[in-house]
């Protein structure tokens, strides 16, 4: 499906980003894995990815996203066919308690870095006549108590639709919005011990989505079955989002 294509996955040394990198490689792409503080994990991931030519690129997406993207472009031979912006730090700090540094970190990595990355990779995609961009949103975009993180993910969904209008027809731009991911349940429990239990009870599917399921949807959005899907935010949450009385 992606044989001969190159892919950049931000924030991909571990967790969901690493699984996305694995799925894109399994579908034939040559992948640039990015990391901030997890160089060893990124290099280990590159070694185990299917195929050849994968690279690990370090840098700080909060302070200099352009440097990270340019380094990935150089390492991939000057072009990125698939961009997946997965990096996105989380926060539940109430707005009146939210410090400037935390606010900027969450906003800059989730939103600003996405914009910067697209500006750098889109020209070559358009010149080649093909490109796929997938941004990671979250179920938090629909909530009003996830602070700057929810605001940032709403901005990601707006950016997705706006970019789809600007970059077609050569490039499709979509977002994926998972709810709480099963493998990250322990992380959210540090903020709210009862959150996972409530989330499962509220989900028609009766369980949480897995990283593999999210990663496969990201990969499929880059394939021919989704050529006519652009500007969409696809929820992958087992029906959690559905309103009920």
CA distance 134 to 241: 21
Q: Which two tokens stand for residue 56?
A: 């690990």
Q: How far apart are CA 92 and CA 116, in angstroms?
A: 25
Nearest in space to 6 (alpha carbons), one of 85, 76, 87: 76
- The whole-angstrom separation of Cα 32 and Cα 102 is 27
Q: Report the 10 Å Cβ neighbour count for 201.
A: 8
Tell me whether residue 153 is one of the annotated catalytic residues. Answer: yes
SS3 99: coil
Cβ partners under 8 Å of residue 133, min gap 6:
82, 83, 84, 85, 118, 121, 122, 163, 167, 171, 172, 173, 174
CB 11 within 8 A of CB 61: yes
Are residues 85 and 129 in contact, defined by beta-carbon separation less than 8 angstroms? no
What is the C-alpha to C-alpha distance for residues 213 and 229, in angstroms, rounded to an integer? 19
- State the pairing for strand pair 55-58/30-35: parallel
Active-site residues, by number, are 149, 153
């Amino acid at each position: 499906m992606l044989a001969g294509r190159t892919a950049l996955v931000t924030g991909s040394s571990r967790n969901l980003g690493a699984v996305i990198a694995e799925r894109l490689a399994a579908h034939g792409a040559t992948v640039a894995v990015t990391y901030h503080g997890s160089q060893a994990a990124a290099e280990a991931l590159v070694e185990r990815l299917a195929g050849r030519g994968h690279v690990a690129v370090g840098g700080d997406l909060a302070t200099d996203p352009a440097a990270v993207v340019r380094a990935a472009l150089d390492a991939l031979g000057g072009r990125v066919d698939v961009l997946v912006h997965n990096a996105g730090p989380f926060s539940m700090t109430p707005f009146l308690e939210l410090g400037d540094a935390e606010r900027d970190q969450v906003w800059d990595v989730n939103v600003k870095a996405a914009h910067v990355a697209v500006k750098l990779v889109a020209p070559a995609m358009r010149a080649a006549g093909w490109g796929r961009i997938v941004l990671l949103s979250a179920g938090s975009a629909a909530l009003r108590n996830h602070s700057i993180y929810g605001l940032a993910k709403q901005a990601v969904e707006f950016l997705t639709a706006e970019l789809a209008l600007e970059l077609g027809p050569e490039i499709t731009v979509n977002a994926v919005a998972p709810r709480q991911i099963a493998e990250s349940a322990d992380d959210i429990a540090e903020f709210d011990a009862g959150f996972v239990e409530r989330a499962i009870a509220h989900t028609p599917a009766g369980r949480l989505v897995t990283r593999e399921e999210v990663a496969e949807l990201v990969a499929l959005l880059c394939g021919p079955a989704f050529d006519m899907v652009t500007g969409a935010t696809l929820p992958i949450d087992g029906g959690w989002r559905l309103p009920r009385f």
